[in-house]
Chains A and B, each alone.
Chain A
């Protein structure tokens, strides 16, 4: 059974700091790994998707890497801003029955302070 773990569960940093969020998974038979952002009381917004054949994806100040063989991904946020405060979730997609399934981690709650 696929298990996804995110460390740390919570993180507080001063504005401007670069930071790394970690995600690990137990089964490397995945299609891709996806990073989401969730604001309080809101749904999930997809940030980056890394296919199993890729090593990294970049969008603006965000960079996500994937090491499928070791079951690890990192989300790097450069020059953090208070608006980056949110919960960040990673999820891996694998085949399940007639469809495919996302297995989620429990998230890292990020607070960027002025």
Chain B
């Protein structure tokens, strides 16, 4: 009953360091998403992958890169971390445009602090 699995759950970085957040889903979903959640701002879309082999920018893509490794896995990379990227990051998956009325499923989040 895994659903969407994110690793790591917590991470502390220093400014300028790089890291990759991992996400995997076992629901055979076509689409995957990365969001960040900040106090008072709700969830905002960073990048998404509508289907395997494609990625597109969301609302707040600056400072991030993504890779859709295969249908199951979608990673988010911070090349040079900045304090403004301190946030909670959520990965989600869903059937995509073929079934827009099916819900997205979310992982438990990665809590990232950048000092």
Contact = CB atoms under 8 A, between A and B. Distances in A.
Interface of A: 4, 31-32, 34, 36, 41-46, 49, 51, 89, 91, 93, 95, 97-102, 104-107
Contact of A89 (B43, B45, B107): B43
Contacts, number: 70
Interface of B: 4, 31, 33, 40-45, 48-51, 54, 56, 58, 90, 92, 96-97, 100-109, 111
A74 to B, nearest CB: 18
B48 A42 contact: no
A37 to B, nearest CB: 11
A97 B50 contact: yes
B48 A106 contact: no
Contact of A31 (B45, B101, B111): B101
B102 to A, nearest CB: 8
25 contacts: A31-B101, A32-B101, A34-B103, A34-B104, A41-B111, A42-B109, A43-B107, A43-B108, A44-B43, A49-B102, A49-B103, A51-B101, A97-B50, A97-B56, A99-B49, A99-B50, A99-B51, A99-B96, A100-B96, A101-B48, A102-B45, A102-B104, A104-B43, A104-B44, A106-B41
